[in-house]
Amino acid sequence: MADLKEIFECTRCGYCCQGETTVSLDEKDQKRMVKALGLFEAEVREKYWRVTGTVVQMKVVDGHCIFYDEGCTVHLGRPWRCAEWPLHPSILTDSYNFETIRESCPGMNPEISYETFCRILREIMEKQDKVQC
Ligand code: SF4
Ligand code: SF4
């Protein structure tokens, strides 16, 4: 049976939470985050989100997502793109994507072959609608 730990185990290094922008939040993400924080949406919007037109992202503080503090402090309310990372479906279609993502995520098994990684990832994805790390 496929085991996520064979291909990935998060080291909580925080690399994917750094940078001058964050992933964007769709409507479901926004609702999930508001619920997880237990605040009114207006308060979450004011304190934690950067809204540009229709694009909602998380604020960046000191070069990282506002929720990053030696790990994700809004884990259950994080956007789906954060939950999916680094097991992006594009890995399955291009080994270059696999190598690029593996270079940026130390949680990905550094020893495993591309073919084995894809086989296990496919098995995991077949069991889940969306891979959650
Ligand atoms: S998903 Fe990868 S880059 Fe992000 S914190 Fe975990 S190990 Fe680090
Ligand atoms: S929501 Fe959590 S996982 Fe996503 S970028 Fe912010 S700190 Fe990282």
What pLDDT is recorded for position 128? 77
Q: Which of 30, 82, 133 gets mutated to test ligand 2 (max ligand atoms within 8 A of its CB)?
A: 82
Distance CA 43, CA 69 (A): 20
Ligand 1, CB cutoff 6 Å, lining residues: 10-16, 85-86, 105-107
**How do residues 59-71 score in pLDDT, each as one tens digit?**
999 999 999 999 9
Torsion of CA 9, 81, 122, 129, to 10 degrees: 120
What pLDDT is recorded for position 133? 44
What pLDDT is recorded for position 127? 84
Nearest listed ligand to the Cα of residue 81 = 2
What pLDDT is recorded for position 83? 95
Q: Which of 74, 75, 81, 105 gets mutated to test ligand 2 (max ligand atoms within 8 A of its CB)?
A: 74
What pLDDT is recorded for position 2? 78
- Sequential pLDDT tens for the chain (133 residues): 678 999 999 999 999 999 999 999 999 999 999 999 999 999 999 999 999 999 999 999 999 999 999 999 999 999 999 999 999 999 999 999 999 999 999 999 999 999 999 999 999 988 876 444 4
Q: Which of 13, 65, 101, 133 gets mutated to test ligand 1 (max ligand atoms within 8 A of its CB)?
A: 13
Q: How far is the CA of 22 from the centre of ligand 1 (A)?
A: 14
**Stated pTM of the model:** 0.89
